[in-house]
Amino acid sequence: MPITRLNHAVLYVRDIEASVAFYSDVLGFRKLDMLPDDFHGAAFLQAEGSTNDHDLGLFQIGSEAGASTAGRSTVGLYHLAWEVDTLTELARVRSALSAAGALTGASDHSTSKSLYGTDPDGIEFEVAWFVPTPHLDHDVLAGRKGISRLDLDAELERYGASTVGGVG
């Protein structure tokens, strides 16, 4: 089974409107008209540059739902990762996450430059830019064994603001 990529993710959320607003306003997803008008409590979203039918499904389970304990006391998904094309886009996402109070971290994985955030329900996600194949030299590849603090300004200077990332 030659899987080529993740097509979409589906999340359970407490408040559908708050989640749609977050993913739309902060990350640029657009809400799709895929449900009957009388159907409430669900939404399907598509990322700005996506050609997928949808990238994110959200299903409301109500305000009484407890926080996920995955990784602390139960098994479960740690986080989702979305890719952006350029470091300029990664910088834009950093600003949007910071403004929303949702930025929780930034890491340099050598072959990828990553931001971490949480949505209104505390569900963690990653937004990353991947070093393009022509730039995967010995130093970059050797750095995969460690994680360091992301200096986005230095990476913008090193790779350029409009260099399209990705290894595929």
Domain count along the chain: 2
pLDDT digits over 95-145, tens only? 999 999 999 999 999 999 999 999 999 999 999 999 999 998 888 888 888
Residue 122 and residue 110: Cα distance in Å, rounded? Answer: 27
Model confidence over 74-85: pLDDT tens digits? 999 899 999 999
Specify the pLDDT at position 125. Answer: 95
The verdict on 90 and 152 lying in the same domain is yes
> Given this model, what pLDDT does residue 95 score?
98
Within-domain flag for 165:
no
pTM exceeds 0.85? yes
Q: Give the span between the Cα atoms of 72 and 74, in whole angstroms.
A: 6
Checking if the pLDDT of 168 tops 60, the result is: no
Please tell me the total number of residues recorded for the chain in this structure. Answer: 168
| 114 in a structural domain | yes
168 burial via Cβ count (<10 Å: 0-12, 13-18, 19+):
exposed
CATH number at residue 32: 3.10.180.10
Query: What's the pLDDT tens digit per position in 51-94?
Result: 999 999 999 999 999 988 889 999 998 999 999 999 999 999 99
For 113, the domain range is 80-159
**Looking at the structure, do residues 18 and 47 belong to the same domain, yes or no?**
yes
- Sequence-distant (6+) residues with CB within 8 A of 82 are 27, 47, 55, 125, 126, 127, 128
* In-domain check, residue 36: yes
Identify the pLDDT of residue 85: 94
* Sheet-wide strand order for 56-60: 9-13, 56-60, 42-46, 30-31
> Which residue reads 């996506």 in tokens?
50
Which pLDDT belongs to residue 167?
A: 63
Instruction: Judge whether 149 lies within some domain.
Output: yes
Asked if residue 49 and residue 89 are part of one domain, the reply reads no
Contacts of residue 137, defined as CB under 8 A and 6 or more positions apart, other chains included, come to none
- Say whether pLDDT at 30 is over 90: yes
Does some domain include residue 69?
A: no
Q: Residue 12: which pLDDT band, with cuts at 50, 70 and 90?
A: very high
The domain that contains 93 carries what CATH number?
Answer: 3.30.720.110
Using CB atoms within 10 A of its CB, is residue 19 exposed (0-12), middle (13-18) or buried (19+)? buried
